[in-house]
Amino acid sequence: MTEDLDALAKQLDREHVFHSWSAQAGLDLPVIAGGSGTVVWDHAGRRMLDFSSQLVNVNIGHQHPAVVEAIRAQAAELATIGPATANLTRGQAAERILSHAPEGFTKVFFTNGGADAIENAIRMARLHTGRDTILSTYRSYHGNTGAAIVATGDWRRMPNQFARGHVHFFGPYLYRTEFWATTPEEECERALHHLERVVQSEGPATIAALLLESIPGTAGILVPPPGYLAGVRALADKYGLLLILDEVMAGFGRTGRWFAFDGHDVVPDLITFAKGVNSGYVPVGGVIISEPIAATFDERVFPGGLTYSGHPLAAASIVAALDAMQSEGIVENARRVGADAIGPGLRALEEKHPLIGEVRGEGVFWALELVADRETREPVGADVIGRLKKELVSRGLLPFTADNRIHVVPPCVVTDAEVEQAMAIYDEALTSVEGDGH
């Protein structure tokens, strides 16, 4: 009977569900029927370690009882209410979020997810400054809505160029440096010089904001070199620009800090969030707004809104998730397990497997960059990633893949024993693919 349910799930999916970022005909997706913590399973009970956190969002793990109960309790009390009301749970959610933000942030605008958080942050920046242009990096992903997808730097931007006023630049990425750098210090200095020249060339008086992922996620978990984000802040101040930091993927524990930028001596003007704020149990995102920008709209109408802004079920899940993360030391666990288990484990794999060109990351936010040749750093092709993904799934691990990389991104609650199990699976899968001659 359970096997029949898995077959039915696959049949209904193939016949009726249209999937994102995919050619539909060849899809053969795993069935997920349930989960707990870092583990998911299908209807037949086949268990898999979830080292994708789905879309790098299930930071607190699957089915955390406090978050599930908070959603149940809120649904019984008030399942939905419009945004043009005051609601206690919504206010408490905003208060919890602001308690982790830097001093000087006073308001939260709730959205339905990360992409429309970016949309509204851009809108606020343009209205606050009276300028139009948004600068963002080529190696970035900011969401799949009008302005967010054009702010995105990767290939998904090209078929979706429907928004105005966007310019791209190169951020730091020492492994594949655009600046002929050989050290993190050189990469930082030259990347900042490049950004300043772009600002000067575009004309500072036309630029509303610099938009950056604090740590680019889907683009490769590109931890910026020391001093880079602080240098960007200094350039923004020098030329009178706003700084928007996108914490949609990197925020709320993923790096072992509440916000990824907390480790980089920088305070932005606007912060976008989603994903980890409630681990995706109910769709939600938002913009954390600094006082000067919030004050712009004290007497001026903000021309934006969403039917589900500050939805009570989402708000209840935020309160419960952030309270549990704090009381259970979940952010601290992410920091410790990254330093003590994931990082050392991945570096041991790098020593053993020539497919691995570089290991980088922190907390529970890591990438293995795979290469056909370590000397030339030629990326492996999609066929290698496809075979490796198949090997990982067959051994009981649900991976996150992007381009020529495996992203190692388990929930923040992952244990040392689960990391050890995952490292053995990565080892076996890499050995198998290397044995096939890539």
pLDDT tens for 84-103 read: 999 999 999 999 999 999 99
- Owning domain of residue 85: 65-327
pLDDT digits (tens, 9 = 90+) for 50-78: 999 999 999 999 999 999 999 999 999 99
In a domain, 19, yes or no: no
Predicted local confidence at residue 250, as pLDDT? 98
Same domain, 148 and 296: yes
Buried-exposed string 56-78: b where 16+ CB fall within 10 A, e elsewhere: bbbbbbbbbebbeebbeebeeee
- The pLDDT, as a whole number, for residue 438 is 60
Q: What is the pLDDT of residues 322-368, one digit of tens each?
A: 999 999 999 999 999 999 999 999 999 999 999 999 999 999 999 99
* pTM, to two decimals: 0.96
Q: Rounded mean pLDDT of 369-391?
A: 97
The set of residues, in sequence order, having a beta carbon less than 8 Å from that of 349 and lying 6+ positions away, is: 356, 359, 368, 423, 426, 427, 430
Residues 297-315, mean pLDDT to the nearest whole number: 96
Asked if the structure places residue 5 within a domain, the reply is: no
What is the predicted pLDDT for the residue at 437?
66
- How much is the pLDDT for 398? 97
Number of domains observed in the structure of the chain: 2
Residue 88, pLDDT score: 98
CA distance 423 to 415: 12
Examine the pLDDT at 254 and tell me if it is beyond 70: yes
Please tell me whether residues 242 and 220 are part of one structural domain.
yes
Residue 163's pLDDT is what? 76
For residue 362, is it within any domain?
yes
Whether residue 217 is predicted with pLDDT greater than 80 in this model: the reply is yes
| 210 and 287 co-located in one domain | yes
Residues 196 and 223 in one domain: yes
Residues 263, 401 within the same domain: no
* Mean pLDDT of the region 359-387: 97
The domain that contains 204 carries what CATH number? 3.40.640.10
pLDDT in tens, 133-190: 999 999 999 988 878 888 888 888 888 777 789 999 999 999 999 999 999 999 999 9
pLDDT of residue 331: 98
**Is residue 415 very low, low, confident or very high in pLDDT (cuts 50, 70, 90)?**
very high
Same domain for 80 and 140: yes
**Would you place residue 248 in the very low, low, confident or very high pLDDT band (cuts 50, 70, 90)?**
very high
Domain boundary among the residues 275, 293, 327 is at 327
**What is the rounded distance in angstroms from the CA atom of residue 399 to the CA atom of residue 396?**
10
Domain end residue (candidates: 299, 327, 355): 327
Rounded to an integer, the average pLDDT of 20-47 is 93
* pLDDT for position 373: 96
Query: What CATH number has the domain bearing residue 407?
Result: 3.90.1150.10
Same domain, 43 and 135: no
- Band the pLDDT of 429: cuts 50, 70, 90: very high
Q: Are residues 395 and 285 in the same domain?
A: no
**Does 394 share its domain with 422?**
yes
Structure tokens at 101: 């933000």
Contact 315, 87 (CB under 8 A): yes
The partner residues of 402 in beta bridges, in order of sequence, read: 405
Output the CA angle 288-289-292, nearest 5 degrees: 165
Q: What is the mean pLDDT of the chain?
A: 96
